[in-house]
Amino acid sequence: MIVVHCDRCSINYDLTDVRNETTHPAARHVARFDCPRGHRSEARRILYEPSTRFEAGRPEDHLQPVSPDAIFLRACGVRPSEIRQ
């Protein structure tokens, strides 16, 4: 999901919820848009990815904590036997 912020509303909106969205001519990461409340605004496009780290919420992970590096390697498909110490 790509999020833009309206300064007058102080609300983050999904890019699909705004109207008249255009790219700033000098900065491609900046969007000009009309927020759902009708304010003309300009803001950076921010890629928002909700957390997918469900492993940290499981009770068994609290008994034997797993390092973030190990979680990353497991997500990439690297088996523990392939990791050099």
The structural domain count of the chain equals 2
pTM: 0.53
Distance CA 3, CA 24 (A): 16
Q: Same domain, yes or no, for 7 and 41?
A: yes
Q: What is the pLDDT of residues 38-83, one digit of tens each?
A: 999 999 888 776 655 555 555 555 555 667 777 777 777 877 666 6
The answer to whether residue 32 scores a pLDDT higher than 60 is yes
The larger pLDDT score, comparing residue 84 to residue 32, is at 32
User: What is the domain range of residue 58?
Assistant: 52-85
Q: Same domain, yes or no, for 43 and 57?
A: no
Q: Same domain, yes or no, for 43 and 23?
A: yes
Distance CA 58, CA 10 (A): 35
Distance CA 71, CA 15 (A): 31
Q: Same domain, yes or no, for 38 and 73?
A: no
Q: What is the pLDDT of residues 13-31, one digit of tens each?
A: 988 899 999 988 888 889 9
Q: Same domain, yes or no, for 40 and 22?
A: yes
Q: Same domain, yes or no, for 9 and 39?
A: yes
User: What pLDDT is stored for residue 26 in this prediction?
Assistant: 87
Residues in the chain: 85
